[in-house]
Structure 1
Amino acid sequence: MTAPEDRRHDAVPAPPSAEATTLAADTTSTAPAVPDSGAVFTEPVAADVAAGAMDADAASSVTGAVPSTPADADLLSNEAVAPLEADAATLTVTSEPAAAGSDSPVGLGATAEATRVETLAAVEPVATSPSVATSPSVATSADSAGDDAARADTESLAETDDPDLAALGIAEPPAPARWATAQSSATALTWVDTAAIADTSPLPAFDDVDHDAAGASLLRGARLRPAVTRAGVLVPVGVLVGLVATYAGTTLLWPLNEVAPTVQSVDVTTAPAAAAAITWPAQGSSAVGIQGIGTVSSTVEPAVIASITKVVSALMVLDRMPLAVGEQGPSFSFTKQDSRDFMTYKRGDQSALDVPAGGSLSEYQMLQGVLLGSANNYIDRLAREIWGSDKAFAAAASTWLRERGITGITIATPSGFDARNTATPEALVAVAEKAMQNPVFAEIVGTASVELPGAGLVKNTNGMLADAGVVGVKTGTLHESWNLLTAKNVKVGDTVVHLYAAVLTQEDDDGRLAATRSLFSQVEDALKGQAPVVPKGTVVGTVDTLWGPKIDVVTSADSDVVLWNAGTATATTSFDLGDHRSAGDEVGTLTAVGPLNTVTTPLTLAQKVDGPSAWWRLTHPLELFGLTDAQR
């Protein structure tokens, strides 16, 4: 290593002084020769040799000797070395013999002690000429010529090859500190190589440092502020809290328009009526039925119907000569011959009424005589007036029945005084239903008695009119066959039910009355014992929410529909939940429709419908805001 530019001298060094030459001679006489070099080392240079390197940057004017053993090197390396002032006037070196048998740093018992000159700033190697490179010693003098000579000798020594310390048995010490250079950054101590120190002074491991103690000492006495009070923390936290509060307030107060409870209908099965189980009269044949529902009969065999034929005949007359309620219709005049014909009917054991000879009867009066007094002579007169003959009438009757879909009836004469006039009990019930739909006909047959010109008081032959609810129709008797066709109205709930019974071939009037009453009674009991088609409390729907259990919608009362003989009803529901949420609130209706009546039953909530919890609202924003399809 060369010295800095400002410390380099080009002058030829002066010859060494006599004192320095003597010192060098004494030293070299006792120290082993250094290979390839006859130079004498200053004290720092000797330390460098002990460290295993000939550092040209640490030149000095202090002479020394090469250590001969590792112990000598260690001792020499521990000597304090002070830089010598480049401009020092003199440097005195003394050498004393080492004690016998001691381990001297110079290996031959010699010790070197250099006096240190204060304020010496730096030591630089002195350039030397090749002619003095192998000189055994170098001495410094106070004059500039001596200084130049010493510098030259030092530079010559620096150019000499380093000794092989391993061959000398000397352990190589750690590299000494080096001067700062362009490649090694300077520090406040400019001669310290920071990179070298970093290599030889590693930082302790992180875990070996007492961080708590260090931190405590650093923060001792400091006024600390909590981290949460810093603006960098408060602002984001405040924004976050605001967002959370806004979200919570919005979801907790948002209306339930998008997730409002809905009502789902449930299929409702109505209860059918029990099959009719009728105990039929022991004699003859019979049938019983309910208008609009159906008829059951004991047989399908026809029987002689006698004067019940007049029901068909009267209806045919009213079709040809219609009457409104309160109208009398056309008048029919009678003569004495008609009065004599009345007597002929009576002798023939036919039912007949006298006529007003020289007078007249209106159509309405004529029909009253036919239906109440069963006057054959009155119906025959009307039939002749309209159809001209029994044959024509019979043909017209067949057509009339066929046009109305009534089968099972055969008509030969208008009065029924003919065994050819027959019908099944079920067919007669069908005729009765048709007849009672005509208000004029129904008015007449429901009358217990009437005063007619020529005939006087005429009583209704139907003894069933004495029973509550019986509204008429007709008796018929031929020989030993006592027949009766009766209509009765009964009330089931708020519904008026029209019952019809036909009993044929009974033994007498009491028998036909008793048989008729029995049939009506059985039907009435069945109607009164009919179970509700939809009982109270039946679940007909559910209120569905996205947040809670289903709430049942139930009927608040029994739905009583008039059914008979396995009849069924249909039920439909309609819902209007609105804002109703409490148990018992009406939220719809059930409409049950039967053949005779329709019943509407309120529907109510079985339990309270709770709103969504706060947690549900907070965790289901998409559903609340209608941003997703709600699956219930």
Structure 2
Amino acid sequence: MRIIEPHQLRTVRYRGSAQQRRIKVVPLLLIVVLLASLGFGYWRFQRPIALPVTQVTQQSYTKKDPGFVWPINEQAAVAGVGYGVLGSSPNQKQVPIASITKVITALAVLKQKPLLPGQQGEAITVTEQDVLIYNKYVAQGGAVIPVSVGGSLTQYQLMQAMLIPSANNAAEMLVNWAFGSEADYITYANAMLADMGLKATRVADASGFSPQSVSTASDLTQIGVTALKEPTIAEIVASKQVTLPMAGVINSTNFLLGEPGIIGIKTGNTDEAGGCFMAAVTQPYEGGQTVSLVAVVLGAPQVTDAMNMVKPLLTKAKQGFGKTIVVAAGQQFGTITAAWGEKTIVAAPKNVVLFGWQYGSPSFTTTLSGAENGAGKVAGITRINFGSQKVTVPLVQDKDLGEPDLVWRLKRIF
């Protein structure tokens, strides 16, 4: 028989007591863990659902060819006021631009010495230096107006003399008065052209008699558009003739003035430049719309050839304007996606028809609301720029996003 010592009995009682305590604690811990899990799961089940995610759809358009028939040897371009360059021949390069340079001179002078419509500006007295300038151009066979020491012309009259009969001496007199010297004018004008972003255009004089005054047809259409926006220049270049002190009545070198719609702008002709012409026309359309166009041809054999080449380009450009569908009904501008994966398309509810250059592409700035508003409800806007027109169009959802199902909600627990 085994004898159990007293200390052994105490040990057995101690071990039995600890085991009992463990048995009681484990269920309690399980209950705590279960309750915590249930609480955490309930919180995940009930926590706010993330807002829908918006995605803007970028718009793309296939470029359409307006079908301009460009001169074979000469370079040409067409632009519209408010529409930019509409087209240009493929052979754009710097070439002498002759007296079209005077349009740049006019812009620079008015920037330095502004004139409001109807103003004549300062009276400028003819000096001996001005007579020498006159004699210089006469000797070179350039266009001039007669001047005499002591006579005077206003700023506006000198601009008329420069732009209507294309007087070279008037251009040089004008910049000497406005800038102090032709050299200072050249610096100013080239800085102005750089600010306009016309990288291919440089002037070396005020009159364009220098072959170093160069540009491209494309650049010059933009200069022509800028000139038409200046009321003083637009008024002068539309004049068929002018009466000036010391010169009398003088006719414009632009004999297309008077033909339907023709409103300017400038001819040019030198041995180096050939025949050059910057033309402007206005064209009315149904609905009260009017478009002003500028076309340029450089390097023609004669000015008359350049004029004849401009006409079909302007005709083609005029035919390219009208009402066009810039946005089709149902055209997608974005999507709204719910946290549970349901997606709705945001689209234009109807066609958007605008007047403009039918071969151009509209630009869009789209903003989506980021909230689920329901089928057919406005869920964003798009701002459309199409030429000179700007409109804001509401965009609608094609369907409801609905509510998340129970399965998706249960999955949020884990």
Instruction: Tell me what 1:505 maps to.
Output: 299
- Equivalent positions of 1:66-465 (< 5 A) are 269=59, 274-290=64-80, 291-294=82-85, 296-334=88-126, 342=134, 345-355=137-147, 358-465=150-257
Contact between 2:325 and 2:351, CA under 8 Å: does it hold in 1?
no
Q: Residue 588 of structure 1: CA displacement?
A: 11
- Whether the 8 Å CA contact 1:540–1:555 is kept in 2: the answer is no
Deviations 1:122-163 (A, max 9, x none): xxxxxxxxxxxxxxxxxxxxxxxxxxxxxxxxxxxxxxxxxx
Distance, in Å, in 1 between the alignment partners of 2:171 and 2:193 is 18
Instruction: Confirm or deny: 8 A CA contact 1:270 1:568 kept in the other structure.
Output: no
Q: Deviations over 1:323-375 (max 9, x none)?
A: 12221111112369966864663453211112366432110111111111111
Instruction: Verify the 8 A CA contact 1:561 1:593 in the aligned structure 2.
Output: no
Note if contact 2:83-2:357 (Cα within 8 Å) is conserved in structure 1: no
Structure of greater relative contact order (alpha carbons < 8 Å, 6+ residues apart): 2
- CA distance in 1 between partners of 2:69 and 2:244 (Å): 41
Partner Cα separation in structure 1 for residue 263 and residue 332 of structure 2: 41
**Residue type of the partner of 1:279?**
V
Identify if the C-alpha distance between structure 1 residues 270 and 332 changes in structure 2 by more than 3 Å, giving closer, same or farther.
same
| 1:390/1:414 contact within 8 Å kept | yes
1:359 maps to a residue whose letter is G
598 and 496 in structure 1: CA distance in 2 versus 1, 3 angstrom threshold: farther
Shift of 1:265: 12
> In the alignment, residue 311 of structure 2 is paired with which amino acid?
R
Code of the residue aligned with 2:84 in structure 1: it is I
- Encode CA deviations 1:258-285: one digit per residue, 9 max, x unaligned: xxxxxx9996957555144432112321
Structure 1 residues 282-310: Cα deviation after superposition (integer angstroms, max 9, x where no partner): 23211222344335343232111111111
- Given that residues 276 and 566 in structure 1 are in contact (C-alpha distance below 8 angstroms), is that contact kept between their aligned partners in structure 2? no
Q: Of residues 269, 280, 283 in structure 2, which corresponds to 1:487? A: 280
Matched, 1:521 2:311: no
Pairing 1:534–2:327 present: yes
How far apart, CA to CA, are the structure 1 residues paired with 2:261 and 2:380?
37
Instruction: Give the C-alpha shift of residue 509 in structure 1.
Output: 3.0
TM-score (norm 1): 0.45
Deviates more, 1:264-273 or 1:391-400: 264-273
Does the 8 A contact of 1:383 with 1:393 survive in 2?
yes
Could you tell me which runs of 5 or more consecutive residues in structure 2 were left unpaired when the two chains were aligned: 1-53, 336-343, 370-374, 399-414
Partner amino acid, structure 1, of 2:363: A
The residue type paired with residue 439 of structure 1 is P
Cα gap change, 1:537 to 1:365, in 2 (>3 Å) = same
Question: Cα distance 1:303–1:265, how it changes in 2: closer, same or farther (>3 A)?
Answer: closer
**Any conservation in 2 of the 1:313–1:414 contact (CA below 8 Å)?**
yes
Give distance in 2, aligned partners of 1:415 and 1:532.
45
Q: In 2 relative to 1, CA 309–604 (structure 1 residues): closer, same or farther, beyond 3 Å?
A: same
| In 1: Cα distance, 2:182 partner to 2:126 partner | 20
Alignment partners' CA distance in 1, 2:299 and 2:160:
25
Q: Aligned in 2, Cα 1:333/1:605: closer, same or farther, shift over 3 Å?
A: same
Q: What is the alpha-carbon distance in structure 2 between the residues aligned to residue 593 and residue 514 of structure 1?
A: 34
SS at match of 1:454: coil
- The residue that corresponds to 1:560 in the other structure is 354
Deviations 1:181-236 (A, max 9, x none): xxxxxxxxxxxxxxxxxxxxxxxxxxxxxxxxxxxxxxxxxxxxxxxxxxxxxxxx
Question: What residue number does 1:161 align with?
Answer: none
Cα separation, partners in 2 of 1:419 and 1:592, compared to 1, 3 Å: closer
**Does the CA-based 8 Å contact 1:270-1:569 persist in structure 2?**
no
Aligned 8 A contact 1:333 1:361 in 2: yes
Give secondary structure in 2 for the equivalent of 1:451: strand
What is the CA–CA distance in structure 2 between the aligned matches of 1:555 and 1:276, rounded to whole Å?
29
Amino acid at match of 1:562: G
Q: Quick one: distance in 1 between partners of 2:357 and 2:55?
A: 25
SS of residue matched to 1:442: helix
User: Does the 8 Å contact 2:267/2:278 carry over to 1?
Assistant: yes
* C-alpha distance after superposition, 1:13-36 (max 9, x if no partner): xxxxxxxxxxxxxxxxxxxxxxxx
Establish whether residue 569 from structure 1 lines up as the match of residue 363 from structure 2. Answer: yes
Q: Quote the offset at 1:428 in angstroms.
A: 1.6
Q: Which moved more, 1:302-311 or 1:338-347?
A: 338-347
AA matched with 1:448: K
The structural deviation recorded for 1:403 is 3.2
The answer to whether the 8 Å contact 2:269/2:303 transfers is no
| Residue pair 1:272, 1:569 contacting (<8 A) in 2 also | no
Is 1:557–1:601's contact at 8 Å kept on the other side of the alignment?
A: no
Structure 1 residue ranges without an equivalent (≥5): 1-263, 543-549, 576-580, 607-632
- Does the Cα contact within 8 Å between 1:270 and 1:534 map onto a contact in 2? no
Q: Within 2, Cα distance between the matches of 1:272 and 1:387? A: 48
The answer for the alignment partner of 1:183 in structure 2 is none
Deviation sequence 1:60-85 (CA, Å, 0-9, x none)? xxxxxxxxxxxxxxxxxxxxxxxxxx
In 2, the alpha carbon distance for the partners of 1:573 and 1:396 equals 43
CA distance in 1, matches of 2:166, 2:396: 57
Distance 1:604 1:406 in 2: 42
In the aligned structure 2, how far is the partner of 1:447 from the partner of 1:471? 8
The change in CA–CA distance for 1:468 and 1:266 in structure 2 (over 3 A counts) is farther
